[in-house]
């Protein structure tokens, strides 16, 4: 999908001009001053380049998406920033066939050098001073720039663009949900860290973002990529330049957005934003026009997203159609008869009265939507139960290993001809640990059986795949993967034979330490 880390200058016959191709390639520090593994690099005119990061979302099927929360409560700007539910998915399929899709987001804000290479009449001289974010841009400038870059790539370096099915990717401004999901750290952070006002900053805000004041930006725009990145490897997501979004601004109306679409959205704050105001949920409205010209806010810049069309092939459309027909149908009745939605659809199709048929079809759509919401809530509950099961398996391992340690010490010191004076204390500790381990083992088994009975094999199996993907993307929870798989093996075994083998399950969790 991603052919090479960095495409060199193409042959002169493919260039926009001989003069452009006479320019040397930029030094990496000019477009990627803090390189990381898995950076995706796209070429630009004049020997330039732009770095991107993959933002993974645990969704594999065409109609799969992932529930997230955007916004923040308690900021005093509820009508602008209040928490609301949203959903996100990626444009590109996983290379390894895993349970994720991804989109790409520019690693840095668009710089002056990159802007001039795309929009200038002549190639700019590469210079570190031009690593400043390009600001004072209008939303229409952003549209023109992304269009120019898309056309240049399609003409000069089409092989550099990732493909989804037979469709090439394209560049645009990010949507608000794409931007905020990435700004919060995506799958690289825990749920609690994701919901915090800023992504985790172990070294303090000054080490990661530029804001107003003498201790930070001191009222001046700063070079892109000087500070540490967020957990996804993205630099300057908060502060420095405010970043324009693709869609128009809307107010919040409790758990949904208001119906009026206004100006364009800017996110993340800038070098003029006070420290205490810098937060991931920060969003503002800018008018498209100011007086008799386009509005070009002095701190407004941009960061491009790399995405793909949705209807990429006939095969994908067929998959979407098949998935759509299954959405919200609900489960069959206990006796195997079709569920309520199917029965309602059959009833509507046999009604001759057009008005009544329309009412029945409307009721069917409402019921399908309700079923779909319940299914999504159930999937979240299954993932929570898997998280609990994996955690309990770690506790079984810890407590079981500690029990074995106490038992070995007791045998060594108390079962010989000359028992130790501390044997009574050792016996008490051993008994106490045994009781604790038995209680934990019962709780593990109860939780496993309850979840298996409530959700069933098929639903759990799919969420194991999704939750495994979530764990693999977060460095803090990646070690939980083997415990999740062990828990799922136990649950799968129970669903197959209905036998509770708590002692064997305990030994399986303990054995993970030796793997």
- Terminal Cα distance for the chain, rounded: 34
Give the mean pLDDT of 42-56.
97
d(CA 492, CA 501): 12
What are 193-205's pLDDT values in tens digits?
Answer: 999 999 999 999 9
pLDDT at 24: 53
Long-range contacts of 452-455 (CB under 8 A, 24+ apart): 452/491, 452/494, 452/495, 455/378, 455/381, 455/382, 455/385
Tokens 């990429």 -> residue: 312
pLDDT at 386 over 80: yes
Res 184: pLDDT: 98
Cβ atoms 494, 450 nearer than 8 A = no
| pLDDT at site 418 | 79
**What is the pLDDT, as a whole number, of residue 5?**
43
H or E segment to which residue 286 belongs: strand 283-286
Q: Has residue 429 got a pLDDT over 70?
A: yes
Mean pLDDT across the stretch 26-44? 97
Are 266 and 238 in contact by the 8 Å Cβ rule? The answer is no
- Share above pLDDT 70 across residues of the chain, in percent, rounded to a whole number: 94
Supply the pTM of this predicted model. 0.90
pLDDT at res. 252? 94
Cβ proximity of 268 and 237 under 8 Å: yes
DSSP assignment string, 200-263: --TT-GGGT-B-SSTTTTTTS---TT-S---TTS---SSBSSEEEEEEEP--EETTEE-S---S
Regarding beta strands 242-248 and 300-301, do their DSSP bridges make them parallel or antiparallel, or are they unpaired? parallel
Is the pLDDT confidence value at 340 over 90? no
Domains of the chain (ranges plus CATH)? 12-307 (3.90.1580.10), 374-514 (1.20.1050)
Q: Is the pLDDT of residue 500 over 80?
A: yes
pLDDT at position 443, please? 97
């Amino acid at each position: 999908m991603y052919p090479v880390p960095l495409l060199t200058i193409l042959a002169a016959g493919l260039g926009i001009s001989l003069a452009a191709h006479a320019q040397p390639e930029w030094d990496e520090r000019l477009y990627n001053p803090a390189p990381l593994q898995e950076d995706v690099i796209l070429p630009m005119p004049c020997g330039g380049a732009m770095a991107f990061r993959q933002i993974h979302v645990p969704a594999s099927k065409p109609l799969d998406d992932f529930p997230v929360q955007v916004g923040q409560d308690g900021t005093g700007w509820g009508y602008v920033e209040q928490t609301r539910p949203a959903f996100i998915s990626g444009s590109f399929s996983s290379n390894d066939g895993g349970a994720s899709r991804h989109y790409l987001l520019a690693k840095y804000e668009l710089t002056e050098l990159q802007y001039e290479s795309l929009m200038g009449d002549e190639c700019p001289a590469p210079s570190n001073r031009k690593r400043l974010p390009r600001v004072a841009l209008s939303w229409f400038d952003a549209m023109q720039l992304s269009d120019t870059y898309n056309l240049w790539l399609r003409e000069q370096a089409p092989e550099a663009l990732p493909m989804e099915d037979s469709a090439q990717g394209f560049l645009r401004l990010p949507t608000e949900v794409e931007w905020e999901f990435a700004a919060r750290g995506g799958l690289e952070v825990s749920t609690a860290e994701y919901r915090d006002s800023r992504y985790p900053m172990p070294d303090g805000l000054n080490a990661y973002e530029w804001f107003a004041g003498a201790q930070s930006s001191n009222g001046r725009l700063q070079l892109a990529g000087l500070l540490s990145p967020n957990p996804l490897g993205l630099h300057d997501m908060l502060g420095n330049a405010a970043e324009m979004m693709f869609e128009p601004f809307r107010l919040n109306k409790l758990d949904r957005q208001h119906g009026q679409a206004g100006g364009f959205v800017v996110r993340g704050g800038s070098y003029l934003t006070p420290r205490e105001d810098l937060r991931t949920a920060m969003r503002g409205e800018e008018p498209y026009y100011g007086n008799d010209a386009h509005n070009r806010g002095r701190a407004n810049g941009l960061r491009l997203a790399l995405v793909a069309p949705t209807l990429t092939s006939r095969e994908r459309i067929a998959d979407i159609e098949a998935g759509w027909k299954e959405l919200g149908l609900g489960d069959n009745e206990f006796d195997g008869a079709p569920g309520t939605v199917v029965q309602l659809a059959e009833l509507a199709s046999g009604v001759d009265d057009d008005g009544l048929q329309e009412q029945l079809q409307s009721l069917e759509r409402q019921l399908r939507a309700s079923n779909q919401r319940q299914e999504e809530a159930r999937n979240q509950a299954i993932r929570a139960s898997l998280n609990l099961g994996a955690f309990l398996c770690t506790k079984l391992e810890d407590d079981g290993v500690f029990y074995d340690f106490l038992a070995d010490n007791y045998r060594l010191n108390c079962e010989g001809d000359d028992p130790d004076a501390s044997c009574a204390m050792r016996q008490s500790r051993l008994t106490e640990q045994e009781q604790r381990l038995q209680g934990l083992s019962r709780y593990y088994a109860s939780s496993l059986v309850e979840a298996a009975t409530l959700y069933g094999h098929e639903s759990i199996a799919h969420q194991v795949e999704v939750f495994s993907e979530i764990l693999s993307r977060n460095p803090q929870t990646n070690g939980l993967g083997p415990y999740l798989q062990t828990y799922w093996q136990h649950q799968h075994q129970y669903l197959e034979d209905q036998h509770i083998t708590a002692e064997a399950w305990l030994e399986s969790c303990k054995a993970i330490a030796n793997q």
